[in-house]
Copies of this chain bind each other. A is one copy, B any other.
Amino acid sequence: MLLSKSCVYGLRASLYLASKKEGEFIPIKRMSDKLEISFHFLTKILQQLTAQGILESFKGPNGGVRLNRPGTDVQLMDIVLAIDGEQLLTECALGLPGCGIKNPCPLHDKWAETRDAIKAMLEHTTLTELVEKGRAENLRLTTDGGFDILFED
């Protein structure tokens, strides 16, 4: 499992938000319904993203959450780092603490290359990019639905 479940949910929710009108607050309840994610669990995850400054929240009626920056400025990596931390980018493939160029394990070089590929992919992909691709090709963000669920009310 590359990403934790929390992280995956966070990514899906962020994509959902990026598909919405910029600046609009979306209630978490609505997101959890559309994305088929437990409301309470999703709430906890989005609280993390809010705490990290990736989302902005607003309480009360007409409240909800929204992206704190345009979706073009949010990389997948931002979400991953906010939720799973930098473990994925720093950890030794053989689990040895302090594995690095100075004191590597036998797998270090190869793993570093592979890891860089993962890193590059996450760093060079923005939320908006995926939303546009999803819209153009009607791809899905839930088990059943098409991408259009994002654009219903």
By a beta-carbon cutoff of 8 Å, the part of chain A in contact with chain B is: 1-3, 5, 8-9, 11-12, 15, 76, 87-88, 91, 93-98, 103-108, 110-111, 113-114, 117-118, 121, 125, 130-131, 133-134, 137, 139-143, 147
Contact = CB atoms under 8 A, between A and B. Distances in A.
A5 B87 CA distance: 14
Nearest to A5: B95
Contacts of A111: 121
Closest 4 CB pairs of A and B: A106-B134, A106-B130, A8-B95, A117-B117
Given A88-B1, A121-B114, A141 B94 contact: yes
A106 B131 contact: yes
